[in-house]
């Protein structure tokens, strides 16, 4: 027998290296995957419950009788004179789309509009450098802002040359500007689930959005429409990730080279023949069975039993059939005719009869031995 | 050339620069750097060809024991040699450990020990010694091989040695018994001594008595300096495995016990192993040497898948045993093999020698005889019964021709053969 214990240990020892490398690969994959999983999904979505989502403000609006409908493309916005269109991420739309929206809606609320977009929507408005998001006071006459008081605002700032209401400003740069039916906001943090309950965030959000009959929440889903032509998965995967995968292929190749080199050839040797000595007998047994040679099998069993009886009863090899039966009857009693048919009778007709015969012969031997 | 586990780790570290500078050039540069480091490491590794390897240690051991073969390594190169070494042997040599760690500064010598636990009889040879010499950084390695031949002769285990003391004490009893016996066949003249009351008057030596005033009797002792020829049949029937060992191994064991016993009894033992051709022979060896020579000759014996050649066997026996001998045939009571092979030439053997045929019985046959668990078992029993019947007939036939037959299962085989010898000796039939 080989020592399997020590062989198991040595296998474990030699496998330690590859296992460690594979573990490292899996860990890297998990880290990359967990970072990749935190995409823009759910951010400022009126159906999202996560801290960056906006389910809370949507619910409040619905309770006030202002239904919120999430739309994914500018074309899908069903505009009317009393509709408020909310664009929480202005960068997702082109400036021309925003211009059309302004024409089709009662009130347009845009967050984080860039220079081009501002130029299309407003008059005499320019975009100024960003500021941090923090609590700011209104310092203006806009009723919504006055009612809300301090809110969390920041992000894009706007400058106006007149004709616009500027609120929550720092050094002349406003983070909320209302001009006609269009309201510009610097950042959308105050609409998120996480911040809605703070300061006057909720009040400002509701007053800005709930002034119409309904709200069309325009939040384009990535891939919902083609902004810059078709983008396949290949385009969306970052380049660094692709190169990292390439490097992993190199690692795999090196790993294969390392494991592929054996420390010397496999040693072979001729093995001796191993035949079980009883195999021929077993083969003969199967032949008997396959050819249903019950008579041969029964005769072999009977001959063996007769031999054993003769030895035990001290009978010579030339003892006749009658002599054997008589000697056995003299020892055990019993019916001579039955004994004769057991020891010399006809061949059994089926396998069951053969088994019964074998058992009867055994019993006879035991009887003779016991008496 | 070979790599170590550090090479893929290094390649894995290359992900950091690739992630920081995501460009194809970075991947290429990392690969080139890896290649350069590995190449430099391989170039700086100690050369394997500068290693001088030699072996020492035992050239033989008994099956079941272990042998420690030493490997002497001298680093004749100018660089340190660090790495692993595999001393490969054939699988049945049971060599261990699988790998040796080596670290040899230039000009120094190290001794490694490979422990062999052979699993089979016969000659065991080593394969190549493969050395992987790792560079100073442990990234790349050189690999090379040396061939240092050796031969470990694995001898039969002689497990029946434990039966020897008992048989020897029987032998001494035999000596004592026979000393008082009258002259008969198988005894020889020992000494003359004074007559004491109770001595057989027929043993009085009148000629010696006439020379002296006392009555002198002859004493006798059992015959000595008889000859034994042990004949091992290595043909196909000896390959059959009974229990865990082939028939041949059981026969070898019994032959060794018989040799040990007969040598102590003052008889001379020769050995002959053959099937179609002669496989091994030990003849005319001194008493002190015979057992070790026998064991050595038996080490390499393997059953051959050929039919034995009875006529050739008989003529070989007759050629080798010129004086009357006890011929012990280790073969099988297989009717077909015997009738075609040995039986026709048996008269020429029995007329000149005392012949004992020793056959290893199979306990499995006894098991099959008693099995009744299902229909197939009953057929098995019938086949076994038939086999036994044939064996019995063959035994009877051989006994009629004057051949002594020993038929015993492997566990009792060696003592049974030894007892047959002692009985023959006691009866003075050698």
**CATH number assigned to the domain comprising residue A173:** 3.40.50
Measured between CA atoms, how close is B195 to chain A, in angstroms?
47
Cα B165 versus chain centre, distance:
22
Which of residues A218, A241, A261 is at a domain's end?
A218
* pLDDT (mean) for B129-147: 94
Q: Can you give the residue range of the structural domain that contains A80?
A: 55-218
Residue B35's Cα: distance from chain center in Å? 53
A165 and A291 part of one domain? no
Contacts of residue B59, defined as CB under 8 A and 6 or more positions apart, other chains included, come to: B150, B151, B152, B153
CA closest to B306 among chain A residues: A273
A238 contact residues in B (CB cutoff 8 A): 22
Q: Which residue has the higher pLDDT, B224 or B274?
A: B274
Smallest CA–CA distance, residue B409 to chain A, in Å, is 12
Average pLDDT over residues B320-338: 88
- The answer to whether residue B287 scores a pLDDT higher than 50 is yes
Buried b (16+ CB within 10 A) or exposed e, B49-71: ebbebeeeeeeebbbeeebebeb
B contacts of A355 (beta carbons < 8 Å): 372, 375, 378
Distance separating alpha carbons of residues B3 and B11, to the nearest angstrom: 12
Q: How many CB atoms lie within 10 A of CB A19?
A: 10
The shortest C-alpha distance from B124 to chain A (Å) reads 10
- Choose among B255, B263, B250: nearest CA to B168: B263
Torsion over CA of A170, A173, A174 and A180, rounded to 10 degrees? 160
Among B56, B46, B47, B50, which Cα is nearest to B148's? Answer: B56
Q: Tell if the CB–CB gap between B14 and A250 is shorter than 8 Å.
A: yes
| pLDDT > 80? residue B54 | yes
- Chain A residues near residue B91 by CB distance under 8 angstroms: 267, 269
**Are B389 and A298 an interchain contact pair (Cβ–Cβ within 8 Å)?**
no
Q: Which CATH class is domain B1-155?
A: mainly beta
Token readout for B78 is 């100018």
Element (H, E) at B185: none
pLDDT at site B187? 64
- Predicted confidence band at B294 (pLDDT cuts at 50, 70, 90)? very high
Which residues from chain B sit within 8 angstroms of residue A282, using beta carbons?
368, 380, 383
Rounded Cα–Cα distance for residues B415 and B253 (Å): 10
Q: How far is CA B229 from CA B24, B121, B261, B281, B356, in A?
A: 83, 23, 14, 10, 10
- Which pLDDT score, from 0 to 100, does residue B151 have? 94
- What is the mean pLDDT for each group of 10 consecutive residues in chain A (371 residues)? 49 82 91 64 76 83 83 75 81 78 78 80 78 82 82 83 79 81 83 83 82 80 53 78 90 93 90 83 93 92 91 86 89 88 89 91 89 71
- Secondary element (H or E) of residue B93: none
A342 domain-assigned: yes
| pLDDT number for residue A36 | 60
Domain count, chain A: 2
Residue A160 lies in a domain: yes
pLDDT of residue A41: 54
Which residue is closest to A264 within chain B, CA to CA? B130
Listed in sequence order, the residues at least 6 apart from A108 whose beta carbon sits closer than 8 Å to its beta carbon are A84, A85, A87, A98, A101, A102, A121, A181, A182, A183
Whole-angstrom distance, CA of residue A33 vs CA of residue A31: 5
B233: CB partners within 8 A, 6+ apart = B251, B274, B275, B308, B313, B329, B330, B331, B332
Is A275 within the bounds of a domain?
Answer: no
Whether residues A78 and A210 share a domain: the answer is: yes
Report whether the peptide linkage leading into residue B262 is cis, meaning its omega lies within 30 degrees of zero.
no
Residues A212 and A339 in one domain: no
The closest CB to that of A358, out of B240, B302, B378, belongs to B378
Inter-residue contact B51 to B76 (CB < 8 Å): yes
pLDDT value of residue B7: 93
Measured at the alpha carbon of residue B169, what is the angle toward residues B168 and B175, in degrees to the nearest 5? Answer: 90
Give dist(CA B425, CA B186) in Å, integer.
8
The answer on A213 and A68 residing in a single domain is yes
Same domain, residue pair A171 and A90: yes
What would the pLDDT profile of B343-360 be if each residue is shown by its tens digit? 888 888 999 999 999 999
**Are A195 and A339 contained in the same domain?**
no
State in Å, rounded, how far the first CA of chain B is from the last one: 69
Quote the CA–CA distance of A140 and A159 in Å, as a whole number.
14
CATH code, residues B227-426: 3.40.50.410
Residues of B in contact with A264 (CB under 8 A): 86, 88, 127-130, 145
The alpha-carbon gap from B143 to the nearest alpha carbon of chain A, in Å, equals: 8
SS3 of B42, please? helix
Which pLDDT value is given to residue A5?
43
- Which of A218, A236, A268 corresponds to the end of one domain? A218
Do A291 and A208 share a structural domain? no
pLDDT on residue A137: 82
- Read off the pLDDT of each residue in B265-284 and give the average, rounded to a whole number: 91
- Which three-class secondary structure state does DSSP give residue B327? strand
Rounded CA-CA distance B114/B99 in Å is 10
State the pLDDT at residue A3: 38
Does A118 share its domain with A209?
A: yes
Mean pLDDT of B280-301: 90
């Amino acid at each position: 027998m080989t020592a399997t214990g020590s062989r198991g240990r040595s296998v474990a020892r030699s496998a330690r290296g590859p296992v460690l490398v594979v573990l490292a690969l899996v860990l890297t994959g998990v880290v990359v995957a967990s970072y990749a999983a935190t995409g823009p999904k759910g951010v400022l979505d009126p159906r999202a419950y996560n801290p960056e989502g906006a389910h809370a403000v949507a619910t409040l609006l619905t309770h006030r009788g202002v239904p919120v409908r999430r739309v994914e493309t500018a074309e899908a916005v069903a505009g009317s004179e009393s509709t408020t269109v909310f664009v929480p991420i202005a960068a997702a739309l082109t400036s021309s789309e925003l211009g059309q929206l302004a024409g089709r809606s009662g009130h347009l609320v845009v967050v984080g509009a860039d220079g081009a977009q501002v130029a299309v929507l407003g008059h005499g408005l320019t975009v100024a450098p960003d500021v941090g998001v923090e609590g700011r006071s209104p310092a203006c006459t806009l009723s919504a802002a006055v009612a809300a008081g301090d809110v969390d605002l920041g992000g894009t700032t706007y400058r106006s040359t007149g004709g616009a209401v500027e609120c929550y400003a720092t050094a002349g740069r406003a983070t909320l500007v209302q001009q006609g039916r269009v309201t510009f906001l610097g950042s959308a943090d105050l609409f998120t689930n996480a911040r809605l309950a703070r300061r006057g965030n909720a009040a400002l959000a509701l007053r800005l959005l709930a002034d119409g009959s309904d709200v069309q929440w325009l939040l384009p889903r990535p891939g919902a429409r083609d902004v810059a032509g078709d983008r396949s998965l290949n385009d969306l995967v970052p380049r660094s990730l692709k190169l990292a995968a390439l490097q992993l292929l190199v690692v795999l190749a090196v790993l294969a080279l390392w494991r592929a080199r054996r420390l010397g050839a496999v040693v072979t040797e001729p093995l001796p023949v191993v035949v079980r000595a009883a195999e021929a007998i077993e083969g003969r047994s199967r032949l008997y069975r396959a050819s249903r040679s019950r008579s041969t099998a029964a005769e072999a069993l009977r001959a063996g039993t007769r031999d054993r009886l003769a030895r035990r009863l001290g009978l010579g090899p030339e003892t006749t059939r009658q002599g054997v039966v008589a000697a056995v009857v003299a020892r055990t009693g019993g019916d001579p005719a039955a004994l004769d048919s057991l020891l010399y009778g006809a061949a059994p007709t089926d396998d069951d009869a053969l088994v019964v015969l074998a058992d009867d012969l055994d019993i006879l031997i035991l009887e003779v031995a016991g008496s | 050339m070979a790599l170590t586990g550090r090479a893929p780790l290094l390649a894995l570290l290359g992900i950091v620069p690739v992630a920081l500078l995501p460009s194809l050039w970075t991947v290429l540069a990392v690969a080139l750097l890896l290649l350069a480091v590995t190449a430099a490491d391989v170039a700086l590794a100690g050369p394997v060809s500068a290693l001088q390897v030699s072996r020492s240690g035992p050239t033989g051991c008994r099956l079941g024991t272990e042998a420690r073969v030493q490997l002497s390594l001298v680093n004749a190169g100018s660089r340190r040699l660090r790495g692993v070494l595999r001393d490969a042997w054939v699988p049945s040599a049971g060599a261990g450990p699988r790998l040796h760690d080596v670290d040899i500064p230039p000009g120094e010598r190290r001794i490694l020990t490979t422990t062999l636990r052979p699993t089979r009889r016969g000659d065991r040879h080593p394969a190549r010694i493969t050395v992987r010499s790792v560079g100073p950084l442990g990234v790349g390695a050189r690999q090379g091989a040396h061939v240092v031949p050796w031969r470990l002769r694995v001898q039969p285990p002689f497990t029946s040695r434990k039966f020897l003391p008992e048989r020897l004490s029987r032998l001494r009893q035999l000596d004592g018994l026979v000393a008082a016996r009258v002259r008969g066949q198988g005894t020889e003249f020992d000494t003359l001594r004074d007559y004491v009351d109770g001595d057989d008057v027929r043993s009085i030596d009148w000629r010696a008595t006439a020379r002296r005033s006392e009555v002198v009797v002859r004493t006798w002792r059992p015959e000595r300096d008889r000859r034994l020829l042990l004949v091992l049949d290595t043909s196909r029937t000896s390959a059959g495995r009974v229990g865990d060992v082939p028939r041949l191994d059981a026969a070898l064991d019994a032959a060794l016990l018989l040799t040990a016993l007969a040598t102590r009894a003052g008889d001379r033992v020769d050995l002959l192993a053959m099937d179609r051709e002669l496989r091994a022979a030990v003849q005319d060896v001194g008493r002190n040497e015979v057992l070790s020579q026998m064991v050595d000759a038996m080490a390499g014996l393997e059953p051959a898948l050929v039919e034995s050649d009875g006529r050739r066997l008989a003529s070989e026996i007759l050629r080798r045993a010129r004086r009357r001998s006890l011929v012990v045939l280790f073969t099988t009571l297989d009717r077909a093999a015997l009738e075609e092979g040995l039986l026709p030439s048996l008269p020429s053997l029995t007329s000149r020698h005392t012949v004992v045929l020793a056959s290893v019985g199979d306990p499995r046959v006894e098991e099959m005889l008693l099995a009744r668990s299902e229909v197939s078992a009953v057929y098995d029993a019938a086949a076994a019964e038939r086999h036994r019947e044939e064996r019995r007939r063959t035994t009877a036939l051989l006994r009629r021709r004057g051949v002594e037959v020993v038929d015993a299962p492997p566990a009792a085989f060696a003592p049974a053969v030894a007892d047959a010898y002692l009985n023959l000796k006691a009866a003075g039939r050698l």
